């Protein structure tokens, strides 16, 4: 197996589609073959070697390392099924789109639609993520359906829109309409949250580590007897991301059910300070 390292040589003045850059696919290629690989760029193409310096080294499992600020590089890790991708810098839109397995680690910011329609694997963003993270593509009915998305910074609007399964963790703030139209899954937000959160929530769980400015009018209070669940849940969150280590496993959160305008079986948990 090979570790493929791509170091940015020249930043183009246009968007580039990186969906072909999957570690398992590249592992069998030589450095010259990777450099000649054509990447879609709008109505044209460009070679990997025009954008990156390519180096190979031996490893036990396939790995791709991208070094440099690549905000112009979209769809990094799209459809990733195995192996690991490390981005030492920021990434463009649709990082981890539809990934089913493996690991994608972005040591920087990520653009819109991060983890969009994700089905499995682990995606970590150490910085901020744009709008529609873990959501659905325009016109599609399902957002994230599996895996774990961890955003250490802030998330934009429509976080986890139409989510069906999986786990989303945000260490900072989230924008408007977080967990909107969620069908199932778990979303945890450590910082502040925007307006209209949990709008149209049918099922699933939204945990807020901070008291929101207001509660949605279509949620009602209630729910007791989940001490064991809460204790185990808090421990698992603390292992995933640091901001949640401050949660008190002995202090049960306030529980609200909704959105009563739809099924009304969603769960909103607000941690006690």
Per the CB < 8 A criterion, the answer to whether 20 and 75 are in contact is no
pLDDT on residue 249? 77
Phi, psi of 185 (to 5 degrees): 105, 180
pLDDT, tens digit (0-9, with 9 covering 90-100), for 213-238: 899 999 988 766 677 788 888 888 88
pLDDT-derived band at 1, boundaries 50, 70, 90 = low
Report d(CA 125, CA 222) in Å as an integer.
34
Report d(CA 203, CA 121) in Å as an integer.
23
Longest alpha-carbon distance in the chain: 62
Per the CB < 8 A criterion, the answer to whether 195 and 174 are in contact is no
pLDDT, tens digit (0-9, with 9 covering 90-100), for 119-155: 999 999 999 999 999 999 998 999 999 999 999 999 9
pLDDT, tens digit (0-9, with 9 covering 90-100), for 237-269: 888 888 888 888 778 888 999 889 997 888 999
User: Going from the N-terminus, what domains does the chain have, and what CATH number goes with each?
Assistant: 1-61 (no CATH), 75-270 (2.160.20.60)
pLDDT, tens digit (0-9, with 9 covering 90-100), for 149-203: 999 999 999 999 999 999 999 999 999 999 999 999 999 999 999 999 999 999 9
């Amino acid at each position: 197996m090979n570790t493929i390292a791509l170091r940015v040589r020249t930043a183009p003045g246009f968007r580039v589609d990186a969906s072909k850059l999957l570690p398992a696919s590249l592992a069998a290629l030589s450095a010259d073959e990777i450099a000649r690989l054509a990447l879609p760029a709008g109505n044209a193409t460009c070679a990997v070697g025009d954008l990156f310096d390519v180096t190979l080294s031996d490893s036990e499992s396939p790995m791709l390392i991208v070094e440099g600020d690549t905000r112009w590089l979209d769809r990094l890790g799209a459809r990733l099924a195995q192996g690991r991708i490390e981005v030492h810098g920021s990434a463009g839109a649709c990082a981890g789109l539809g990934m089913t397995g493996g690991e994608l680690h972005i040591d920087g910011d990520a653009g819109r639609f991060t983890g969009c329609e994700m089905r499995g694997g682990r995606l970590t963003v150490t910085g901020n993520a744009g709008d529609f993270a873990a959501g659905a593509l325009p016109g599609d009915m399902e957002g994230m359906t599996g895996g774990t998305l961890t955003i250490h910074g802030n998330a934009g609007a429509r976080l986890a829109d139409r989510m069906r399964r999986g786990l989303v963790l945000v260490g900072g703030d989230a924008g408007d309409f977080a967990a909107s139209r969620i069908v199932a899954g778990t979303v945890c937000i450590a910082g502040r949250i925007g307006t209209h959160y949990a709008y149209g929530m049918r099922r699933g769980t939204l945990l807020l580590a901070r008291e929101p400015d207001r509660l949605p009018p279509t949620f009602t209070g209630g729910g007791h007897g989940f001490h064991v669940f809460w204790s185990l849940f808090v421990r698992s969150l603390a292992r995933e991301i640091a901001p949640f280590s401050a949660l008190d496993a002995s202090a049960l959160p306030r529980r609200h059910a909704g959105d009563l305008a739809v099924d009304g079986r969603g769960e909103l948990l607000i941690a006690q300070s």
